[in-house]
Structure 1
């Protein structure tokens, strides 16, 4: 979950950065951009800010009550680096957001206490698709501004089973296509080969759009904003700030750090962390 205590102080976008990316994603969520796409795949190399972007989107949508559920995989967290908690976590959040489905969900678990040990496809069918079926038929999800239908999955590549990474995508695609699951999925990952191949397979054809974090969105401008603001904060709050020159650091040093970052926010963030 985006506000889970296991992800205390998660990364999020620095103010006035990633503006175009955030605007596009929010436009897609509310049906203004590529409304035919039920899956938006945000991808980029390590350190390009995928998790920060999805965290920011999750927080903004939560403020507007426009998100149903989220799951953030974590490579080094045993509770988040496996597929097993994915569907139960999402189902629990949906039941919290939509109290009407709780009795249905409770009945399923009561009848089959081992549901959480079954395949991801079976879990999705019984814990999410079936409880939402009646609501979907009634048109509950027709207006995303009123009734949320967004599911966020971050760090798919950090699931420790590459076969399950692909399986998760296929199961979601099948639910969207054949079961008419009334949801949309924002998924972020590195562009690993198995994930790319799955997105390009027939099982996902026509269901998704992609958004790549490359130089199209001018990451160097955003990194400059982050560095400039961060250095200004250091000069204002550091215990020895009276010894820091007003012109520190000079433009050459900032330009050098931007060049060394190579479009990766993680580099600039680590530099600031250790100053």
Structure 2
């Protein structure tokens, strides 16, 4: 890949030092950003409407499949494959990047502490990156992405592969120390903020939103030979659809989408996770 730009180099350095870097869509200046934001806003509004239905949990998977077939989803998916982003991922991992696709998320301001609003580490790979794009302003009370500072916990890469989901009190018990406000990086910001975070290395969560709903897009990346391929493939696209999406892309982008082709032959027969 070409050399990193000054902005990309700064992001990679911050990631290597702290595991997290916060910037903006304006600073990255990636082609297709306007189309991606419009598409994400359209889809997240549809999800917010869905969330108001009493049966929304049972219907979410089908709706995701419908969304994945739209031009809006394609705009979001393609944005995540911009060479600037792939350079950042490769610069951080020091390995060729794999792209696991985007997830558009709507988080209601209901104060609930459940799922990804609890402290956890992702389990796809030894190290990985999530790029979270805020589609709305995200104040402290609006569900910002948070992580424990690396000085408090910097996840082992090759030793412990334990992935508990913890309340704040349970996290303190695990680490055998109190977790103060200054021990946490809280990634607040206006719409257009983008947070790069190693979600395998750092304990993180979406802080429960209490005042305003949050809409965001999460792009996921890891190496082409991830530690746990079974827990990857969280895209809303089937493997056949991914093949179609990758057609016509540059070799670097195509290899990032079709990363399973780089797995050892035995690992390729493992089915995708259903969670």
Give the TM-score taking structure 2 as reference length. Answer: 0.26
Higher strand share: 2
Higher Cα radius of gyration: 1
Q: TM-score, normalised by structure 1?
A: 0.26
